[in-house]
Amino acid sequence: MAPGNAESLANRDAPIPVVQVQHASNDGTPTEEKGKSRRLSVSKLKHKLEHLGDNIKGDSSNRVGDKMMNMLLAQVLPSEDLSENSSPGNSPPNANTPRVKDRRSRTYVERPSFSIPTMSSNFRRFNSRIGVAFILQNRLIRLFTWARPTQTLSFLFVWTFICINPYLLPVLPLASGMFFVMVPAYLTRHPEPVGNPMEVDADLWRGSLGGPPLADAKTIKPAPEFSKDFFRNMRDLQNCMEDFSRGHDAVLSFITPLTNFSNENLSSMLYLILLVVSVLLFITAHLLPWRAIALVLGYVMTALGHPTIQELIAKPETEKFITETEHQSRSFLLTISRADIELETSQESREVEIFELQYRALHDQDGEYEGFMFSPSPYAPLSPSRISGDRPRGTPFFEDVLPPRGWRWSDKKWTLDLLSREWVEDRCVTGVEVEVEGERWVTDLHYEVLETEGEKAEERAKLNKRGSSKGGSKDIGDQEREVLRRAWEESKPSRKGEWRRRRWVRGVERMPWRDGQSQ
């Protein structure tokens, strides 16, 4: 028989309550197959062209409005870049470069941008098909509110068997599919006789489950738009959204003050309690009777939905008792947290440094050093920037030196570091002269032997480049470092070099972040 017995699923029972907190072939969905084209017959093409002129007038105004709204939203909403290894500053990949699609990658999953027509279409399709979820939700509510005690007791029997023997759990979905899906579908194809059992023979009324099918198979179709089932689904969807919003706010209002460290003593104490419990469960979890615990919890949660228990909970005395118990628990946690947890009240502090660099021409031995800049690095003779020939980086004025991001000055002014020898030794700076008194300058030493040795090193480097030896040649910086080390160890005669520096220090402390402040 043709499947003509199609119906839509919707919750035709009581509406979904609002909680109080102090691959289908006929679904009408167009499919897109990339890389394949479909050819229409001449009659179908002619039929489409005839109806195109009738529909374009009625849809033109709506399409223009939708396009205008999409253009407006495209200007307001941020654009999304879903390409692999993409960043806001990356340029688009070259279109001529061949690229093999990885079907496992989520990058190639279709993710349309926000569009009002798409949103409206998806909502209508979703609302036409969501009825099965509301039916299940309503049946669960009736089950756990003891609307039919026999059904609730049957559930408790099944729960008991599952808790006693958890290996029966895989049987549950299979049995549910047989008894709640396939058996009703078979009874629909083989219905009972229609009539009054008092007027016909009892054997005739009893019917037979064998033989050929007498009725069409029941199929599920989406609820038609603007039908009663469609508006029932909208009603239940509205109530579910309100339930989620209230539940979300209630959970946040209870958990957030305990876990967001607005009260650091309380959150720290709760963290320690959770840590201790986690460690204990990690050690003793295999000793706990989990079957009995699950059995008792299931019975308790089911019993709480009984109307008598609900009436008892709704009494003012019970609500007052629950409120007082919660208040006492919070007060107890606050008391022990204040007594046992001591927080650091002073701000985190550090010491920052800046180097004052001065320069003098190498040939001007009698000239004075002139201020050059304030740099975060000492620009030592053997530093990488110095060897590569880069100029020092910094600011020419002391007032332009800023604290690190997220920090602020804790001292009013900079202090000269009088222990210049310590920071020189800590950085393993060589080839310098250190003043232990006076202005504490650390001055470069220029060795005369460097000129002759440097020229020889350059000549050797040129010869090595021409010969292209197997082992390769040393870098010029390594050669200069070796010459300088040998001259310093042999105490060769020297004079003051081009650069000198001294170290300034200043205290900083962490700056508290405020809402809306960029990091």
Q: What is the mean pLDDT of the chain?
A: 79
d(CA 445, CA 175): 90
**Under a CB-based contact definition with an 8 Å cutoff, are residues 220 and 7 in contact?**
yes
Per-position DSSP letters for 494-513, written without gaps between them: EEEEEEEEEEEEEEEEEPPP
The answer on 507 and 389 residing in a single domain is yes
**Under a CB-based contact definition with an 8 Å cutoff, are residues 205 and 197 in contact?**
yes
Residue 26 placed within a domain: no
Domains: count for the chain: 4
d(CA 466, CA 146): 95
Q: Which residue has the tokens 């039929």?
A: 47
The answer on 210 and 145 residing in a single domain is yes
Residue 108 placed within a domain: no
The answer on 518 and 381 residing in a single domain is yes
The answer on 307 and 235 residing in a single domain is no
The answer on 503 and 399 residing in a single domain is yes
- Helix or strand or coil: residue 131? helix
Per-position DSSP letters for 265-318, written without gaps between them: HHHHHHHHHHHHHHHHHHHHGGGS-HHHHHHHHHHHHHHHTSHHHHHHHTSHHH
The answer on 435 and 460 residing in a single domain is no
d(CA 123, CA 217): 29
pLDDT at residue number 305 = 94
**Under a CB-based contact definition with an 8 Å cutoff, are residues 15 and 236 in contact?**
yes
Q: Which residue has the higher pLDDT, 40 or 275?
A: 275
Q: Which residue has the tokens 């986690």?
A: 278
- For the record, the structure tokens of 362 come out as 């190498």
The answer on 142 and 197 residing in a single domain is yes
**Under a CB-based contact definition with an 8 Å cutoff, are residues 14 and 137 in contact?**
no
The answer on 471 and 326 residing in a single domain is no
Domain with 290 in it = 261-340
Q: What are the tens digits of pLDDT across the range 32-71?
A: 444 444 455 556 555 655 555 555 555 555 667 777 777 7
The answer on 474 and 399 residing in a single domain is no
Residue 108 has pLDDT above 60, yes or no: no
**Residue of 505, 504, 502 whose CA lies nearest to 358:** 502
Residue 173 has pLDDT above 80, yes or no: yes
- For the record, the structure tokens of 420 come out as 């210049």
Q: Does the global pTM surpass 0.75?
A: no
d(CA 507, CA 415): 9
Of these ranges, 210-224, 306-320, 503-517, the one predicted with the greatest mean pLDDT is 306-320
Residue 30 has pLDDT above 50, yes or no: no
Residue 291 has pLDDT above 90, yes or no: yes
| Torsional class of 381: left (φ above 0), alpha (ψ -120 to 50), beta (otherwise) | alpha
The helices-and-strands tally (H runs, E runs) of the chain is: 16, 9
Share of the chain above pLDDT 70, in %: 68
pLDDT at residue number 76 = 64
**Under a CB-based contact definition with an 8 Å cutoff, are residues 9 and 135 in contact?**
yes
Per-position DSSP letters for 152-204, written without gaps between them: HHHHHHHHHHHHH-GGGTTHHHHHHHIIIIIHHHHHHHSPPPPS-TTTS-HHH
Average pLDDT on 375-389 reads: 91
pLDDT at residue number 24 = 42
Q: Among residues 340, 372, 387, which one ends one of the domains?
A: 340
Q: Among residues 257, 276, 303, which one ends one of the domains?
A: 257
Residue 101 placed within a domain: no
pLDDT at residue number 346 = 80
Of these ranges, 28-37, 102-111, 131-140, 469-478, the one predicted with the greatest mean pLDDT is 131-140
Q: Around Cβ 452, how many Cβ atoms within 10 Å? A: 10
Residue 486 placed within a domain: yes
At a CB cut-off of 8 Å and minimum separation 6, what does 11 contact? 131, 134, 135, 137, 138, 232, 233, 236
- Partners of 371 in the β-ladder: 358
Q: Which of 120-129, 170-179, 493-502 has the lowest mean pLDDT?
A: 493-502
**Under a CB-based contact definition with an 8 Å cutoff, are residues 463 and 403 in contact?**
no
The answer on 4 and 135 residing in a single domain is yes
Q: Among residues 311, 340, 369, which one ends one of the domains?
A: 340
The answer on 252 and 266 residing in a single domain is no
pLDDT at residue number 18 = 66
Residue 95 placed within a domain: no
The answer on 207 and 335 residing in a single domain is no
Give the model's confidence band at 14: pLDDT under 50 very low, under 70 low, under 90 confident, else very high. confident
Burial state string for 373-401 with b = 16 or more CB within 10 A and e = fewer than 16? bbbebbbbbbeeebbeeeebebeeeeeeb
Residue 87 has pLDDT above 50, yes or no: no
